[in-house]
Structure 1
């Protein structure tokens, strides 16, 4: 069993903000695969389904970003999902807009949602990082930047990246992070 987590903040006022790119990716995955309706449980919205025959849970924590680990930890413990079978999709302000990276483990890189997840399940989980640009490019501070909405042009580029993640998440689940990192590398170079 796998757990795919899209990070974001709950509430309409945060929809389509940079910090919610993980929610957007989760919604696209949900629409492409056969998942049950979301239900409120474990401090999140959770749906059950399968991706290429592999039982998969899709989670959108409904705590605020900095407490995402509470929801992830509860789901992982209840379903006995090891960290290496957890995939977290999140924004990364240190990557250029639209650039994708995938890795297992490592530092939270200043991302408070990841820090909280690390405190609950350790660092040995899969991460798909989606570049949302940097606060310096937009001449603003980090908090205002990650809570700002994308421009129409930015959203067009990011929607293509979200579609790519949703259409290839099965490769990560079936063949692992090294294989998936290679797929992302080829896609980034296009």
Structure 2
């Protein structure tokens, strides 16, 4: 029996300045996923300017390729499209984990296709793939307070209370990804 691989990409911005920002919750979720598969480590995939690793979802089952881009969030599309092409991933097997302003903090939503809700990383991915028909795992970061510019809000670090909840939220997001993969493999 032939299984197509799944590609799971956590969106974020590279560099230490952005590690703990709201926009990087997708990349933080990739770290949680890696922690569940001991011995699985990211390595640089030079052709696509990403970091990737892979493991099998179950013995004899499909492979999961996990990745983080090494480009700015707004330029995520080119490396993601490169990975899709390189690994020959059907778009319904591409899973993008990202932050979502329109969801309350900590809420998680999975959907196939749909709009980008103003998310520049998703816009870039959709533009590069020439399609919106991929899976999105949206992790709620809530709305900015008052009249704060959303672009400024997503680049700020999580506050103390939010940081305390992050491990649970990332674990919940990865649980949702794993449930989705097992239900669609």
Shared fold (TM-score, shorter chain, > 0.5): yes
Which whole-Å CA distance do the structure 2 matches of 1:138 and 1:6 have between them?
28
Deviates more, 1:46-55 or 1:66-75: 46-55
CA contact (8 A) 1:21 1:91 kept: yes
Which whole-Å CA distance do the structure 2 matches of 1:160 and 1:52 have between them?
24
Report the equivalent of 1:114. 122
Report the equivalent of 2:135. 126
Which whole-Å CA distance do the structure 2 matches of 1:73 and 1:2 have between them?
14
Report the equivalent of 1:46. 52
3-state SS of paired residue (1:127): strand
Which whole-Å CA distance do the structure 2 matches of 1:94 and 1:35 have between them?
36
Which whole-Å CA distance do the structure 2 matches of 1:168 and 1:18 have between them?
19
Say which of 71, 80, 94 aligns to 2:88: 80
Report the equivalent of 1:5. 9
Q: Which runs of 5+ in 1 are unaligned?
A: 177-190
How far is the alpha carbon of 1:39 from its aligned partner? 1.4
Which whole-Å CA distance do the structure 2 matches of 1:127 and 1:156 have between them?
25
Which whole-Å CA distance do the structure 2 matches of 1:67 and 1:26 have between them?
19
CA contact (8 A) 2:34 2:41 kept: no
Corresponding position: 1:166 with 2:166 = no
Which whole-Å CA distance do the structure 2 matches of 1:149 and 1:29 have between them?
21
Corresponding position: 1:101 with 2:101 = no
Q: Deviations for 1:125-163, whole angstroms, at most 9, x for unmatched residues?
A: 10110110112x254111210000001211222321211
Q: 1:63 to 1:105 in 2, by over 3 A?
A: same
Q: Which runs of 4+ in 1 moved over 4 A?
A: none
Kindly report which structure 2 residues correspond to 1:151-190, keeping only aligned pairs within 5 A, or say none.
151-176=159-184
3-state SS of paired residue (2:170): helix
Could you say which structure has the higher helix fraction?
1
Aligned length: 175
3-state SS of paired residue (1:133): coil
Which whole-Å CA distance do the structure 2 matches of 1:50 and 1:165 have between them?
19
Q: Which runs of 5+ in 2 are unaligned?
A: none
Q: TM-score, normalised by structure 1?
A: 0.87
Q: TM-score, normalised by structure 2?
A: 0.89
Report the equivalent of 1:185. none
Deviates more, 1:45-54 or 1:104-113: 45-54
